Structure 1
């Protein structure tokens, strides 16, 4: 890893971040747009502050009092299956049931016992690296909460709205729990990187169900990848629960559009294809920004990126969110770009197929991802002959 290159890249990111933030702020002051998300990433809060008193009165209480139809409405004749195995076992032992497992998990993060656990397993440098990387998802969950709330308005059918409603609830849960988790590590929580800021703002500003692309196809796959990578680490086991939630979120577009297909224009609109590509591209330099933190944790950010790119484009292809450059071609182009970057910044680098890498750890999370991505096997692809011609042309230009 080239330290001088990374120092210069970090300086470039800070300058670009300042320019884009000030530009959006100026547009907002004169009322012609600007930043849409009412989220303060510098203070790790939504605009308006934490307001924990209101959260405890309504959000926490709503989760405590969340009732299950399998328990309370068995007489309806509908075969509800919304109880977990643990809840069923608990109901067998005691009739007045209501699980408090999640609340106990949340309380655990403020205890000295938990802090002692993470201090025993990680150095301060490793703790800060974990917080730096997971903060990407924590900030992203704040935006996913806002995005899914807007998608709820545009989703059609009772089932569609019910599915998105649960995603709104789970995004709220993810942000609240992740925030408590990261603050318990006693490390500075960094702001948005400009690359993530661009992805999230463009997702939030997308029209209608086009938000599914930025949120469920791109951002949720990044989240699932990071949760799948960290979920086996000491003190981070709860991320397996997040990983399971994200797998459902990733599967939502294919299930939704199987029932309510997109029109030809929604799939192939030149503007939509360009906009999708504009959301994907800022996620690539993000891999450079997190390379140092990933290296501290023994992870190659390019291998993680290759695994992520493969899954995102596989899903893009299947759902029908076409881009101006076909995913099979873009995958190879990015693999070439990754190798070019590695050759310039890493001594003795040999050409590697980064796109064949796998970032998920643990058998259970690997099984969940296999189940999710088996949904996307039937995607339409350009022929290998056409793809090869496009790639050869691109390599000659490069």
Structure 2
């Protein structure tokens, strides 16, 4: 089962692909971003920061247990670049037991120290660590206790995306146990995973302002960032998830893309990760992508060549062709062609044909008809937000969602077409 349509990608494992294609035309760079001047420095001593995070952690040893969590935190910078953070979290624990599983809801409280080791023009990289405890409705792990202590450590990157807003992406390792003193047995759990969040600077207006900082909505080495959340169905199963994609110019016309995300398909976690290298020219782009998917029932890897061709101001042609290697079935050929029609500044319609079958089984029955629509009225478009719906992609998946793109032209002259053509490729496989 190929789950949801791209751009789905996940935090399972990253694979690296190489591309060796000639230039496809002189490089037309994206329109320069208008600089934004922010006043208060959120890393300055005395800053007060409210954070909201959501993430997933899977077992990296021992107990087969997954954690999906939502966290709200309040931080205080006790000196420049150093924060002390209190986090309240709600977690959903899913543990595999023999042929079945057991779930539990937990409520936890943690204290962390965060050190912003590096900072650049509109971004910072940090280390974090702390201790806490969690109380759950069932013993976690099984055979342990309902009250456990936690130890956390991680790294992350924060990007300024508004006058008081920061986007945070990171990974954490967490240890959970009762220490042997909160119950007769002490099974432990060590988990590792990623999280995505937003931070709001709550520092009062009368606080001493930090140095004036001038930069675009994304750091100079990131061409665009795309975040999306979605809900829908895969076959008869309910599905939902989130993904994040980063695009960067590497050298001359050569660009790179990294994708990561998670989807829940009928209570199973589908993890995806992918990378791509592509050449960008005045009339489009061309590259190679390598993607990995991990679900309880199977794993697969996919290598594809993809292209986008800007036919005119209204039409973009996209195509991809490659091979898929699955752990539970024969290898399959994957490919397709689609047309995007930008009918209005805030409206895009998409349709095409695609196939995904073993080479010997390819035929009329292999053909699928992917359809999609994306809509962004002016108030949303100026923020980089759009609503989308897709149907008939990748084994009959139907989804609706919200997409947020940082980087690219916005404001009076911005449009969905301008955004798509200045950001990275939307689709690297069908």
TM-score range, shorter chain: under 0.3
More helix by share: 1
| TM-score (structure 1 length as normaliser) | 0.26
| TM-score (structure 2 length as normaliser) | 0.25
